[in-house]
Structure 1
C-alpha cells in the first residue's frame, strides 16, 4: 500500500474496533500530518480516501467525523417470478409512472443541485468554442456524432480502463434517447423485454409509449435473479433485456462484477441484445468504480448507453451509445428519428473533456455526493420510525426507503399538497408491490436553513408527515 493508504487503514482499523465511535471528530489535517510525521499531501490523500470509501464525512467549518456504518439494508424482493408478460400501459398507477408534477422540489427529480454544476466553467468553454467556430458548426451535424466528441469520450473512458473505438460510438440526445433508439431498432411493438424490479420509472414510461411489454426480474441486495432471466431466455419469451447495472435508480445499488460478467455472457449465449442504461456509471461513491457489463461483452450483444445528464447538467441533452454489433441498425433508426445532435454543444463538450475540466468536476462531484447522501441517510435514520429501512447507495444520488405496512402513495399525495415532490414505490413497477416504499433525491446539499423550499426543511416536513400518519 502507499503511505496515504497505510495511514487511512490505520483509521479504518480504529473505526472497526470501535476505538473511534460514530460521530468522533478526527484530527485536523495539520495535526494529523504532525502526529504521523507525514506531509500535508499525504494527510489530505488519506482523508480523501476515507471520504470516498465512506468511512468518514466532512462537516463544513467543523472538520472530519467518523461516519455511521450501518449494515447494508436487505429489502423484500418481488415474490412473483413467473412468465407473465405485462403491459405497462395497463398497470400504470393513476398518475403514471413518472408523473409530470407541476411543482419542483429538491427531493423529487434525480439530479445534482445547480450549485454543484460547474456553470462558470461551462459558460467559459461555450464562449471559447463559439469564438473560434466556423460556419460548419451551424450546419446539419454528422448523424453518428461529432468526431471530436467521440474521440474525447473514447480517451476519457480509456482512463477508467474501459476501452472502445471512436467509430463504434454514437452521440444521442441524452441517455433516454439512446435507450429509445435501441429499443426501436432491436424490437417491435408488442415484443417483451426483461427489466429489473424495481425499475426506473422513466424507462417504464418509455416502454409504455413504445407499446412494449415487460417481465420484471427481482433485484435483491445480492443482485438480479439471473436464474429467472435465463429461464426466460431459454423459453424465448423476451426479445431483449434492459437493465441498469451501476448505482441503479431507485435503490442506488450496483450489481456485483460477477453478475455484470454473467449478463454479458447470457446475451452472447442466447444471442439476445442487452440494453445497458448506465447513466450513473461515473458517480460511484467508492474510490474505484466498477466497469459496465459492456466491458465483458466480446461479441457485441450489449448496447451501452450513458450521458452527461447526471454528472454535469441535464439541460445539455447530450448522451451516447455503444451499439456493438447492432451499429448499422442503430444508426439507421437514429437517422429516421433525428437529424443529429446539436453541433455547438457537441464541440463544447469535447473541449470541456479535453481540457480536463470534466474529469475534475466528476471527481469532485463523486466525493460531494458521497457526503450528501450519507447526511441524508443519517437524517432519515434519526427521524424515521425504527422499522424504516433505508438503502445504502454505492453511488449516485437516490435513496430508497421502505416502511412496512405504510402507504407511500398517500404520503406522496400529502407531500405534493405541501409542494414537496417525492416518488412513491408504485412508480417503479407494474406490480402492486412497492406501495410501502418511496424514493428521494439526495443531489441537493442538506443545509439547515429557514427556507421552506430547502432540502433540509422539506425532508424535515416529510418525516413529520410520516410520523403523523403512523
Structure 2
C-alpha cells in the first residue's frame, strides 16, 4: 500500500537493492539524478532518501553522497505458521501481565513491554487543552453521571468515522466503553455463558484471553500466519459444534501485526454465515497502516452473520482517557444494561473533548503522522534485532501497528529471559502471555511505540545479547549432559 509520492519513489529505489542491481558498498544515485528520473521535487527526493535511511537501505557519507547498505533486517525470516492443538482449552493466566503493566508506567524501565505509544507521539496536549477549556466553561454539567450508552456527540463523531469504511453506521448502534478490552468483554457477556468456547487467533491478544478467563470461557486457538487465520482450521472448529463465537482482529493484529487480506476476510465471513456464528471484531490498530490506506474491516464487507465491532482511541490518541466503543446493531439495549451494571458510564469531560477533537479533522492528520513514525520505528527495531539476536531468530514484518513478534530457538525460555531483562531495566512481553495452550515459551513481543532513541536501540541490543547468553547456557547444559550407561553383568 503506497499513498505518498516519496513512498513510491523509495519503494522503486529499494527494489534496485533487493534485486541486487545495486550492491552493498556501491554509491547510490544522487538526489538530482533521482529528481530527473522520477520527475519529482527536491523535497520529495529528500523524503524518499530519508525513508530509505530509516529502513537501513542507504547511509549518507559526508561530502561523498549516499551509499548502499543492505539492511540487516533482510536476513530475518518471518515466523512460521502456528500450530495450536485442534481443541478448546480453559484459560488460566500464570504469566506476569500485571507486572508488565506496572513496569510500563515506570520510567526506570525501557518500554518494550506494553503496546502503548509514547505520550509525546499521542494527542495528549490538544486533548488536554480542549478538556481544560470545557471544564472551565461547563464544569458543573460535566461533573455528573452521563448516559450508559455514552455521550451523543461522541457517538455521532465515531459513527461518521466508521462511515468512511464504506458502511452506513448510526450513532444509535454505538455504546461508549472503557477502552477496547471492555468492549470485547461486553460482546462476550452478551453472547456467552460460562463454559462456552470462543475461537481466537493463536497467538492471541492477552487482554482478550484475560477476559475469557474472567468469564470462565474456553479458547479454541486457530493456526495463524502472515495472512491471518487459516480458514480451513476455522471450519474444523465450527464443524465441532462447540464454538459459540469467533473473536478476531481486523488488521495489524496484536501480537503478530498481521494484515488479513480481504479475500481471506470474505472467506471467513462466508464460513461464519454458513455456520451462523457471530464475530467479535477488534479493530484497534486498523488506522495505523504503513501505506496510508486503512484495510477494510469485517463489518464493511458483505455478511449475514452478526458482527460486534470493537475499537478504541488508546493506541492513537489517549490511552489515559480509556475510551473505546462497540457497534452492535440490534443488541444495544442488552449491551447498555451490561455496561451500566459494570461501570455505569464513562466520564463526560474526556468524551466531549474527544468529540470536539474528532470534529476538527485533526484526528486523521494525527493518525497519519503516527503511522509514519511507527513504520520507521518498526524498521529500526527489526534491524537491531537482526544485528543482536541469536542466529535463526524469526521476526514478523508487519504492514501496520507497532508490535513485533520474535520467535527464537526452542531452548530459550522467554519467561526466564523476562526476569533477567528486568534486572537490566528492560521490559518486554513473554510469549506465554499470548496463549491458553502452553505454547510460545520461546517467543516474545516487543513494542516499538516509544520515541526512537539510542537508549531504545541499545536496549534491544542488550536483550539480544541476553538471549544469546541464555541459548549458550542451554546448549552448554546439553553438551555436558552425560548419557545414561546401560550395564550388563
What TM-score do you get using the length of structure 1 for normalisation?
0.87
For residue 451 of structure 1, what is the aligned residue in structure 2? none
SS of residue paired to 1:434: coil
**Distance in 1 separating the partners of 2:394 and 2:452:** 20
For residue 148 of structure 2, what is the aligned residue in structure 1? 143
Instruction: Give deviations 1:327-362, integer Å, cap 9, x for gaps.
Output: 332223223223221111111001111112221110
Instruction: Give deviations 1:118-169, integer Å, cap 9, x for gaps.
Output: 3322222223333443743333212222121112122233345454222222
Distance 1:57 1:187, change over 3 A: farther
Could you list the runs of 5+ residues in structure 1 that have no partner in the other structure? 449-453
Q: CA deviation at 1:275?
A: 0.7
For residue 214 of structure 2, what is the aligned residue in structure 1? 209
**Distance in 1 separating the partners of 2:208 and 2:386:** 30
For residue 103 of structure 2, what is the aligned residue in structure 1? 103
For residue 486 of structure 2, what is the aligned residue in structure 1? none
For 1:339, which of 344, 349, 359 is the aligned residue? Answer: 344
- Aligned runs of 1:389-468 on 2, under 5 Å? 389-405=394-410, 406-448=412-454, 454-468=455-469
Q: CA deviation at 1:325?
A: 3.7
**Distance in 2 separating the partners of 1:79 and 1:133:** 55
- Kept after mapping to 1: 8 A contact 2:226/2:259: no
Moved more, 382-391 or 34-43: 34-43
For 2:77, which of 73, 78, 86 is the aligned residue? Answer: 73
Instruction: Give deviations 1:181-225, integer Å, cap 9, x for gaps.
Output: 111111011111111111111211111111111111111234212
SS of residue paired to 2:357: helix
For residue 11 of structure 1, what is the aligned residue in structure 2? 13
**Distance in 2 separating the partners of 1:460 and 1:349:** 38
**Distance in 2 separating the partners of 1:42 and 1:280:** 28
Q: CA deviation at 1:424?
A: 1.4
1:236 aligns with 2:241: yes
**Distance in 1 separating the partners of 2:231 and 2:274:** 14
- The root-mean-square deviation of aligned C-alpha atoms, in Å, is 3.3
- Aligned runs of 1:45-444 on 2, under 5 Å? 68=71, 70=74, 73-83=77-87, 85-89=88-92, 92-93=93-94, 95=95, 99-100=99-100, 102-104=102-104, 105=109, 106-133=111-138, 135-161=140-166, 163-299=168-304, 301-405=306-410, 406-444=412-450
Distance 1:261 1:132, change over 3 A: farther
- Kept after mapping to 1: 8 A contact 2:421/2:427: yes
Q: CA deviation at 1:58?
A: 10
- Kept after mapping to 2: 8 A contact 1:98/1:205: no
Distance 1:31 1:289, change over 3 A: same
What is the number of residues matched between the two proteins? 459
- Kept after mapping to 2: 8 A contact 1:352/1:358: yes
**Distance in 2 separating the partners of 1:2 and 1:415:** 39
Distance 1:228 1:4, change over 3 A: closer
- Kept after mapping to 1: 8 A contact 2:76/2:386: no
Moved more, 169-178 or 415-424: 415-424
Instruction: Give deviations 1:38-90, integer Å, cap 9, x for gaps.
Output: 44565578679x67x9797999x99998873738834234434423x31112x
Distance 1:13 1:196, change over 3 A: closer
SS of residue paired to 1:239: strand
- Kept after mapping to 1: 8 A contact 2:393/2:407: yes
- Kept after mapping to 1: 8 A contact 2:3/2:292: no
**Distance in 1 separating the partners of 2:343 and 2:66:** 50
